[in-house]
Amino acid sequence: MIEAQRENLNINKLVAERKEIIMVEGDMIVPDSKPDILDTICTSGVVSIYKKEAQDEKVRLDGSINTYIIYMPDGTEEQVRGLNTNIDFSENINVPNCKEEMNIVSDVKVKSIEAKVLNGRKISIKATLEINLKVYNQDSVEIINEIQNADNVQILKEDLKVNSLVGQGETKIYAKDNINIDNIDNLAEILKTQICLVDKDIKISYNKVLTKSEAEIRIMYLTEDNRINNITYKIPVVGFIDIQDVTEGNICDVNYEIKNVIIKPNTQEEHSIYVEIEISVMCYVYEEKQINLIQDMYSPIENIDFEKKQIMTMTEKQCVKNTKQIREKINLKDIEGLNLIDVDIMPSISNENKINSKILYEAELGMKFIFENSRSQLIVKEAKIPFECTVENLQNGEVLNANCDMEIKNRDFIIQDGGDINCNIDIQTDTNLYRNASINAIDSIQESGEREEQDYSIVIYIVKKGDTLWNIAKEFGSTIDAIARVNGIEDRNQIYPGQKLYIPRFERISERSYE
C-alpha cells in the first residue's frame, strides 16, 4: 500500500490590495484665547490610525488628523498665530474577498489639506488622504514530497524555492521626549509639525526581531516676542517582537504606523516641548524553503487515483535599497529679500513601468516653501520636481510584484539672485520585491486495482506539439528511461513535433524518480 510523506508549507497569501482616496472634513471653533482670523496662511497635518478592522468584504479604519493652521490674525499687531485641532474620521473601504480573521497592513498619508475661513471665529478644514491597504490570509498546507511502499511507481518531481512564513508579530512603541529649544526663546505656541519615521533597520536575535528607527520631528514655533523659529529632533524608536524560530537568514517585512501623537509646550519645564508618539510595528518573517514537490505520478502495472490542488505562495522575496540624488534648480517669483524658514517635502510615485530586468518609477517631489518677510509675515510658495528612479539587475522584473517606499535622507536649499533655488535632496528608496508562485501538488493518493495489460511489445508514436516524454510514457504505461534508451535520447527535455518514437512495453524496474 502506498504511503505518502508530507511536509508543511506556511503561506501568507496577499488576498487583496486596495488604493483609495478619501476626503475628511471638519470644522474648528477658534478658542476664546486666540484672536479672530483674517485669513489662513498654511495648513498641515499628521495622520494617525488608532484602529483598523477586517470585516466581510470591507476594511474599517478609524483615525484622526492632528492639524496645524497658521493664520493671519484680525485686529492685532501680530502677523502670525497658530491653531491646533484633531479631526477624527471613520471610513469603511470595500475590499473584495476580505474576511474578519485576516490581517491588514495599511499606509495612510495626507495628500493635501486646506483650511477655509467661514467667519472670524470658525474654520472649515478639508483633507485628502491616500490609503494603501494590503489584506493577508495565513494558511498552513500539506504537500506530498515522498511516497513509500510503491515499487515501480513513476514520479515526476520539481525542485522549488518558496518563501514560507515563519511567523508574524506586532508591538507598540511609545517614543517620548522633551525637546529643548533655545534658552532665549520663550515659547508662545506651536505653529506646525512634521513627523517622519527614518533610518529603519532590523536585527534578529534568538526568537526575537529587534526593530529600530527614528522619529524625525520638525517643529515650527512662535516665541512670545513674535519671532518664528524651527527645530529638528530625532527620537529613537526601538522595539522587540517575539517570533518563534526566527533566524538571521530570514527575510523580514516591517510596517510602521503612527497611532497617536501628542505635541505640546512642556508646562513643567521652560524652553521645552513635550513629544509623545505611539507607534505600532508589525513584522512578517519569511524563510526561503527548498521543497522537492511531487507534481505527477503513475504506475504501469496499477491504477493510481489522486487529486491535484493548486497552492498560491510567493518566491524570490528580496528588498533593494537605493539612493536617488536630486540636484535641480527651480525658480520662485517674488522671493527677493525673503528669509526661507522651512520646506515641506512629499515624494509620491505616479507611475510604475516594468521592463525586462528593471523597474522604472516616475515620481515627483511636492514642495511647500515657507518664507518670512521683513515685517514678520509668512509667504507660502509651492513647487514640484518630477524625477525618475530605477531598480535594476532583476531577473524578469516584468513579473515581479513591487512595493516602493521613499524616505527623505538629506535636504539643502540655496537661494540665488532672481528667485532661483538650488535644491539638493537625497531620497532613499526601499523596494520590496517578490514573485507570485502557483504550485500544482498532488493529494489523496489511492490505488484502484491493476492496470490493464498492454498487448504490444512496442509501438511507434509521432510527437505532437506540447508533448513531453513524461506524458507519452504515462499514456502508454511505459517509462521515460525505457523510451530514452530505445530511441537514443540524451536530453530528455528535448523532443520535437513530428519526431518518431518507439514506445516499449513496461518491464518491472526499481527506478522510480525523475526530476
For the chain, give every domain's residue range.
Answer: 11-143, 152-298, 306-447, 453-514
- CA–CA gap between residue 244 and residue 407 (Å, rounded): 31
pTM to 2 decimal places: 0.86
Cβ pair 71, 81 in contact under 8 A = yes
Cβ pair 425, 326 in contact under 8 A = yes
- CA–CA gap between residue 279 and residue 259 (Å, rounded): 6
Contacts of residue 97, Cβ cutoff 8 Å, sequence gap at least 6: 15, 16, 57, 135
- The grid cell for 485 is 534508451
The edge-to-edge listing of strands for the beta sheet with 358-372 is: 339-355, 358-372, 378-391
8-state DSSP, 30: P
CA atoms within 13 A on the CB side of 24: 31
CATH architecture under which domain 453-514 falls: Roll (3.10)
Query: What is the separation, in whole angstroms, between the first and last Cα of the chain?
Result: 23
Q: What is the pLDDT along the chain (515 residues), one digit of tens a residue?
A: 778 888 888 999 899 999 999 999 999 999 999 999 999 999 999 999 999 999 999 999 999 999 999 999 998 888 899 999 999 999 999 999 999 999 999 999 999 999 999 999 999 999 999 999 999 999 998 888 888 877 778 888 888 899 999 999 999 999 999 999 999 999 999 999 999 999 999 999 889 999 999 999 999 999 999 999 999 999 999 999 999 999 988 999 999 999 999 999 998 888 999 999 999 999 999 999 888 888 888 888 888 888 888 888 899 998 999 999 999 999 999 898 899 999 999 999 999 999 888 999 999 999 999 999 988 889 999 999 999 999 988 888 888 899 999 999 999 999 988 889 999 999 999 999 999 888 888 888 887 777 666 666 788 999 999 999 999 999 888 999 999 999 999 999 899 999 999 999 876 544 444 44
Cβ pair 38, 111 in contact under 8 A = no
- The grid cell for 22 is 478619501
- CA–CA gap between residue 258 and residue 240 (Å, rounded): 17
Contacts of residue 320, Cβ cutoff 8 Å, sequence gap at least 6: 391, 430, 431, 433
Contacts of residue 394, Cβ cutoff 8 Å, sequence gap at least 6: 357, 358, 359, 400, 433
3-state helix, strand, coil in the chain (%, to 5): 5, 70, 25
